Chain A
Amino acid sequence: MKLELRGITKRFGALAANDNVSLVAEAGQIHCLLGENGAGKSTLMNVLYGLYQADSGQILLDDKPVKFSGPGDAMAAGIGMVHQHFMLIPVFTVAENVVLGHEPVKFGGVLDIAAARKKVREISDRFGFDVDPDAIVGELPVGVQQRVEIIKALITDAKVLVFDEPTAVLTPQETDELMAIMRQLRDSGRAIVFITHKLREVKEVADKITVMRLGKVVGEAKPSDTAEAMASMMVGRAVDLEVRKTPAKPGAAGLEVSGLNVWNHEGQQVLNDVSFQIHAGEILVIAGVQGNGQTELTEAILGTQTKHHGSIKLSGHELLGKTVKQVLDAGVGFVPEDRTEDGLVADFTIAENLMLDRSDRAPFAKRGVLQLDFLAKFAAEKVAQYDVRAQGIQAKASQLSGGNQQKVVLARELSRELKLLVASQPTRGLDVGSIEFVHEQIVAARDSGIPVLIVATELDEATQLGDRIAVMYQGKIMGIVPPDTDRTVLGKMMAGLSA
């Protein structure tokens, strides 16, 4: 089945998330929709799936115009979607999840779960998925959950399959398997739309590439084009995909973590005997699939994890068991992974956010009274230095783009006298320009001679930024390796196999 989107426009208030977007996806092709975060790819697909109504434009299937008032219509017309955040119910079985919405029933609406099981098995066998229909979805590995999402799309016999950023949560091996599945589905005559911002994957699997920027289609690319060419199309200017840095000059051991165990509030052990050292002037990247204890590790350093055992020493001084304030005062800079939730107060101004950590002391406060003149001067200086694009220092943090929010967080954390920088997924969701900037700042912090700990979930970022890479899996460090280690080796470690 051929899918055509013709002149789709979708506005949210004044913002045109999609501005006259057109694309054609042919049967038997993998059509990549390439663009940065916020380029309007997901909006477009939500329009296609009936979750949003377009303000203007047409959807055509095999040249016949169709109209979807909800996902049910889109599914009935043969469109299937594999969502970025899986649309699966964790407490249901695979079979229940797969048939939800179009359940086989016996008389009187009684669920025919045997028929559901059979359908799952059929599809699972046909594509070699190896999924147990009776497994509880929440207990399955992420990669298998994704296959359940795919089965869910296939069970309605979808002829057009949309994959929305499907590799964000996968290990490299799982990504390879997914690529194979996508090819297999293409070869079975389906049209595949693959939404992504990862150039490596596009080059590997795409038959046709449409590039989007700021809600518009900016052109088509060929899989044979260089990554740089695609990136500059995506961003709108020439970009440098390499992180520029000189070889590290590691000094004395700065941060020493030994035998660290942490339990979460449910009593589950989330860090298991974690030990590593970071030297002054060195970047250690913690790589691994999200949710394997990286967050808890950074929080243990900051002091927001309460059930712990072991030791975290910074220049010989114990940090574990100290309050957050004591840790910050010891010279720890902390960039949290969720900047809107943990990094900033959304309703505060840029200026207020810049002094959150030191509003209790001179020169920001004297005898408990805030020194607003000093703050204004300080904020103006930082906004200029970090190139925060905003309508002045009184703009609220919530009004800033992701990149500018991250710049505010960095400006605050790096304007203290640091002995350690901890940054958790510092470039998540940022545009390419902001990513370059953040990387520069991190490398500059390293070159100032402090140890730097970065949590990265994207392998490319890990290998480019890190001087050494520690891979975490289920709360354990699987090994610490140099950044030029082979991707498949890193992938195996991310899947829990020792190096």
Chain B
Amino acid sequence: MKLSNKTPIILAVVAFLAVLIAAFAPSGTTEIKFQAEGDLLPLPNIDVSVMAVTWFAAILMLLLAAYSWFRRLVQKRSSIAWLSPVFGVLFVLSVLTTLYAGKTMTLTALLQGSLSLAVPLIFGSLAGVLSERVGVVNIAIEGQLLAGAFCSALVASLTHSIWLGLITAGIAGALVALVLAVFAIRYVVDQIIVGVVLNVLVMGITNFLFSTLMGGNLALFNSPPRFDTMPVPLLSQIPVLGPVLFVQTPIVYLMYLAVGVVWFVLFKTRWGLRVRAVGEYPKAADTVGIKVYRTRYMSLMIGGSLAGIGGAFFTLGQVGAFGKEMTNGAGYIALAALIFGRWNPLYAALAALLFGFSENLQFGLAIIGSHVPSEFLLMLPYALTVIAVAGLVGKVTGPAASGKAYIKS
């Protein structure tokens, strides 16, 4: 096995960037605010010196980069898994303190916003995991999210039942997945093309209905109720993380559950083993009596319903109304999170959180009036996505049969 220079090179470059940041960082302090409303244990705000933090991060990163070269050149071993994430955290820390120099960084708000933005991404990436693991590439996550968002708003408005809205969102997402499944499995159409076409189709239909149907009577068709936050007793009192994780709407609690359940089902149950077998080598699964097509339909539709529920978060969890093309590319970012997370529900969720964080950064910085150009901030999540997926993931192999139709002889 030939060792790759990629990771050490990237680490060295990032470490060098960190040194540059430290060298040019403004002097002064950043105030970090840990406290949120109603904490049991009030934590004091901390003032940190920008210089100290950036130099600390830069030197640590240089050492880590040197260690990674040492492993590569002297010990001839490949890079270790934890190095890149630690590097990422240090770099973000360094960038954040610099950007917030002389201002107050409210950690809780920053993390809360990140989680909110990550919710649809996580649901979407779970849909991706379930379909790619069974051997179908799901580009239509975007469409599933959007269909879920629209249908939940419509049904919840008409019935005044938020839960009916949520269930409808799941059904809508599953139906989009069913269309994908029928074309990909039954008619053996190229999965990527069907996926893209579906996204455009859902976008067109929701745009049309939004302007004709909803536009005609907003009060009747587009004023769904919104989920209230339901703080979890005790857990919500944990400093910093409590308000972030446990003062949330039921959709978010549903998401925690979904991540765990999807992981458990995929890797610990009979059904999951069969799903993965079908996604790796459908013919082998077929020859032991597993119904390849049925497994693909099921896994795809369960995934689609999760994405639909993720879409409902936009309307029932956040905005309280449907907006034109309101998913705004979240489905594609979810796809990136899925790859970054190596087709594993837990890692994909973490990757989605990272993307949510970078997206949230632009809002946070815009609010404090940072001197960084807004165009750069807008670009940030996507740039991070590209770097993360292309640079840090390294060599990953997805399910072997993903994207390939199975034709029974």
Task: Give A contacts to B, CB under 8 Å.
Answer: 46, 49, 51-52, 70-73, 75-76, 81, 83, 87-92, 96, 100-103, 105, 108-111, 152, 263, 266-269
Contact = CB atoms under 8 A, between A and B. Distances in A.
Given A87-B281, A89-B281, A105-B270, A269 B2 contact: yes
Q: How large is the interface on B (under 10, 10 to 19, 20 to 34, 35 or more residues)?
A: 20 to 34
Contact of A111 (B268, B281, B289): B268
B89 interface: no
Contacts of A70: 286, 289
Interface stretch (B46-54, B66-74, B107-115, B271-279): B271-279
Interface string B238-269: 00000000000000000000000000000011
29 contacts: A52-B409, A70-B289, A71-B286, A72-B290, A73-B289, A81-B287, A83-B287, A87-B283, A89-B284, A89-B285, A90-B281, A91-B280, A92-B273, A100-B273, A100-B284, A100-B288, A100-B290, A101-B285, A101-B289, A101-B290, A102-B289, A105-B269, A105-B270, A109-B269, A110-B270, A111-B270, A111-B273, A268-B1, A268-B2
A73 B288 CA distance: 10
Contacts of B269: 105, 108-111
Interface string B133-171: 000000000000000000000000000000000000000
Contact of B273 (A52, A83, A96): A96
B289 A75 contact: yes
Given A90-B281, A92-B276, A100-B273, 7 more contacts: A49-B287, A75-B289, A92-B273, A102-B288, A110-B269, A111-B268, A111-B269
A238 to B, nearest CB: 36
B377 interface: no
Contacts of B1: 267-268
Interface string B279-309: 0110111111110000000000000000000
B404 to A, nearest CB: 14
Contacts of B374: none
B289 A88 contact: no
Nearest to A75: B289
B268 to A, nearest CB: 6
B373 to A, nearest CB: 40
B32 interface: no
Contacts of B281: 87-90
A88 B273 contact: no
B4 interface: yes
Nearest to B401: A89
Contacts of B288: 71-72, 75, 87, 100-102, 152
Interface in B73-89: none
B14 interface: no
Contacts of B268: 110-111
Contact of A100 (B271, B277, B409): B277
Contacts of A110: 268-270
B400 interface: yes
A72 B2 contact: no
A105 B273 CA distance: 11
Interface in B307-348: none
B299 to A, nearest CB: 14
A90 B400 contact: yes
Given A89-B281, A100-B277, A100-B285, A109 B2 contact: no
Contacts of A76: 289
A87 B281 CA distance: 8
A108 B268 CA distance: 11
Nearest to A85: B283
A103 B270 contact: yes
B393 to A, nearest CB: 15
Contacts of A96: 273
Contacts of A92: 273, 276-277, 280
Contacts of A71: 286-289
In the complex, the 5 A-B pairs of residues with the closest C-beta atoms, listed nearest first: A72-B289, A101-B288, A267-B2, A87-B284, A103-B270
Interface string B5-49: 000000000000000000000000000000000000000000000
A76 B409 CA distance: 21
Interface string B374-409: 000000000000000000000100001000000001
A51 B270 contact: no
Contacts of B409: 46, 51-52
A269 B3 CA distance: 11
Contacts of B400: 90-91
Nearest to A104: B270
B123 to A, nearest CB: 23
B90 to A, nearest CB: 29
Which among A71, A89, A105, A110 has the greatest number of chain B C-beta atoms within 10 A?
A89
Residue of A75, A91, A269 ringed by the most chain B CB atoms within 10 A: A91
B315 to A, nearest CB: 34
Contacts of A88: 281, 284
**Taking each of B268, B283, B284, which has the highest tally of chain A beta carbons within 10 Å of its own beta carbon?**
B284
Given A103-B273, A109-B269, A90 B287 contact: no
B287 A87 contact: yes
A123 to B, nearest CB: 16
A379 to B, nearest CB: 34
Most chain A CB within 10 A, of B2, B271, B273, is at B273
Contacts of B290: 72, 100-101
Contacts of A267: 1-2, 4
A46 B287 CA distance: 10
B287 A263 contact: no
A101 B273 CA distance: 9
B287 A109 contact: no
Contacts of A109: 269-271
A90 B400 CA distance: 9
Nearest to B397: A91
Contacts of A152: 288
A2 B409 CA distance: 28
Contacts of A108: 269
B287 A51 contact: yes
Q: Give the most central of A46, A96, A101: most B CB within 10 Å.
A: A101
A332 B323 CA distance: 66
Nearest to B274: A100
Contacts of A101: 274, 285, 288-290
